Amino acid sequence: MKQTQKMIRNLESLRHYLPDVAAQLSEELLEQYPMAIPEYYLNLIDFSNKNDPILRMSVPSPEELQVDGTFDTSGECQNTKASGLQHKYSETALILSTNLCAMYCRYCFRKRLVGLDTEETVADVDAVVDYIKQHPEIHNVLISGGDSFLNSNGKIAEYLEKLCEIDHLDYIRFGTKTPIVLPQRILGDPELQQILRTYCAKKQLYVSTQYNHPNELSKESVAAIRCLQDQGIIIKNQSVLLRGVNDSADTLATLFKSLTKVGIVPYYLFQCRPVTGVKTHFQVPIKQGIEIVQNVKRQTSGNAKDFRYVLSNERGKLEILGCKDQDTVLLQYHQAKHTKECSVIFERKITDQTYWYDGNTKP
């Protein structure tokens, strides 16, 4: 992997850019939840704005030490079939290919493992591939992590070589934020581009990425997206609704319109999960989320309003359809572990303080 970006990983380096912020942090916090910020991404911050959205997403906060919440909010451990392989929805296999990311998002729902010692990532690629071969109901694979593009080019090629041979797979997805936080990983690496082009000709490849704020869509980032598209890859975007980052209809409408301009279809807006170290400072109440989504839909058209507002719990991907009245919300599993629960519309109580519906939420 060729990239020469300086990475900000400790308080000493952070102090150089954000001395006041660094003074509030401790090395213990960074040991518990590591920090990594490519210099390119850090320079997207407006350093005069202490509420800058990119700062909030990338720079640690003492609020991460609050212990409320849990670490596995969607039952990932229960769905693990081999080291690094999850099979929750019958048609999809999810591969945790690495624990590394170019940037450790402060709101990450895999905070339990990113940048840390873990046994949850793939130990043996062949064991993963064998499981998928033996399960013809699996039609697509999501190679995730961590960030799948933090794997070496050789490892990416190995996955593609082995997965492209499986007839019952229709397509392969990569989960990566490198087009956003480290576009140099793509732009500066003709070998990676060649690998992607070669296998895209064999099986359709998708990149599932995660722009959360319009400021992330820089010239370099758009160039990386164009480069991936030139290899034949289709790019889709899933955002997370984050307090103090994008909890405004104008921000999200601008983001979704800007994404469609460069050929990226926004397909999910996720409710932020009640993860330890995340929930207390990033979650937005669901009622407020519904109002934001309604306003975004009024301001957008066509592909920019193609997204669904969802939360991912142990049962599945629960779509939040809207409020029926002041105290009642309409819900529907868009994807479910138990297929028969899909598509049934049902009601639940909602208050101004409802932030989550857990896996006990049955249709």
Q: Interface residues with ligand SF4 (CB under 6 A)?
A: 101, 104-105, 108, 110, 114, 145-147, 177
Closest approach of ligand SF4 to the CB of residue 211, in Å: 12
Closest approach of ligand SF4 to the CB of residue 177, in Å: 4
Structure tokens at 124: 């043996």
Nearest to 161 by CA among 169, 150, 144: 169
Q: What is the DSSP letter of 273?
A: P
Relative to beta strand 345-349, strand 328-336 is antiparallel
Closest approach of ligand SF4 to the CB of residue 202, in Å: 26
Enumerate residues 6+ apart whose C-beta is below 8 A from 306: 265, 266, 267
CA–CA–CA angle 251, 108, 102 (5° rounding): 90
- Which residue shows structure tokens 């207390």? 280
Q: Residue 14 or residue 37: which is nearer to ligand SF4 going by CB?
A: 37
Closest approach of ligand SF4 to the CB of residue 178, in Å: 9
Closest approach of ligand SF4 to the CB of residue 101, in Å: 3
Q: Residue 110 or residue 281: which is nearer to ligand SF4 going by CB?
A: 110
Q: Residue 159 or residue 270: which is nearer to ligand SF4 going by CB?
A: 270
Closest approach of ligand SF4 to the CB of residue 113, in Å: 9
Q: Residue 105 or residue 172: which is nearer to ligand SF4 going by CB?
A: 105
Q: Residue 169 or residue 182: which is nearer to ligand SF4 going by CB?
A: 182
Q: Residue 246 or residue 361: which is nearer to ligand SF4 going by CB?
A: 246
Q: Amino acid identity, residue 105?
A: C
Instruction: Say if CB 337 and CB 315 are below 8 A apart.
Output: yes
Find out whether the peptide bond into 146 is cis, omega within 30 degrees of 0: yes
Q: Residue 116 or residue 265: which is nearer to ligand SF4 going by CB?
A: 116
Instruction: Say if CB 355 and CB 279 are below 8 A apart.
Output: yes
Closest approach of ligand SF4 to the CB of residue 136, in Å: 29
Residues 174 and 158: their CA atoms lie apart, in Å, by: 14
Q: Amino acid identity, residue 235?
A: I
Helix (H/G/I), strand (E/B), else coil: 92: strand
Residues 363 and 351: their CA atoms lie apart, in Å, by: 19
